[in-house]
Structure 1
């Protein structure tokens, strides 16, 4: 009787090890995606915090350009209320349009282009845009790995049992792929 139980026990242990290992891989992948997303949020927040400083410098030179400044304020508000990658992508697109409009206003004020505060903020913003692009790429890579993992057999069965779902990519609008032309 004892020998008959050994084989089923071994099979059950192997199944438990397989399930546990697969579950742990899914948790690890899920956490990598969350961590990557947190980095995207950090950089988007950094940009959102830089924009008001840039606006304040421009305000001194362009009092009558309220429309552009209002657009930036609205874009920042939309960013602050975003919760999902899709909402952040939409807020990001609105920010990009607002910044492009801001730079168009700056073209009309040569003395503003020479302002040291404006120049420093512009460099900070450019660096932040690069960080956002890098973190967005890292996030999307982690999403791709995780989504691929939970779609593969037999991991997909375990992912469904434990409620793991695909993550959403942080995609940009087609408009954003066109680089605005700004000359200083």
Structure 2
């Protein structure tokens, strides 16, 4: 009887498995991934006989293809965008739009202008610059930049709170001293 505590043998991927149309799974290097049906199999299936059997049984019309066909499928699979890649690109677009929105709000605050100037002046100016000077469609950029009156006010308040918090942290963590002078007024009242 086999020892119950014995470890299972974990097979490693071999480059020769590419001729059967298999690569290591994108999620785990120890699992085979069929390039044709795009399925991941257990580690126990990582035997040449099982990989070949899968290919001959389920992909008869592609079983006699050479290794170059599998390499082309592998390259195509490597170039496919994942869900993570799509969300990362969208998050990057939102990130630059948010950064631009904060910078414009900062400039509005520095200039001491009304917060509504973002919608009434800045947005049309961005549109004009992009369409006339850069000859590009300004719509995706303008959708990413939020400059409504309330948004500008909120961004200025957030930056104000953040600046105040940073200054307080610096003062808490920095040693400094205060010098006080005491003097008296003409009616013998002391004044610090």
- TM-score of the aligned structures, taking structure 1 as reference length: 0.26
Larger Cα Rg: Structure 1 or Structure 2? 2
Structure (1/2) with the larger strand percentage = 2
| Larger RCO, structures 1/2 (Cα 8 Å, 6+ apart) | 1
Greater helix share, 1 or 2? 1
TM-score (normalizing by structure 2):
0.25
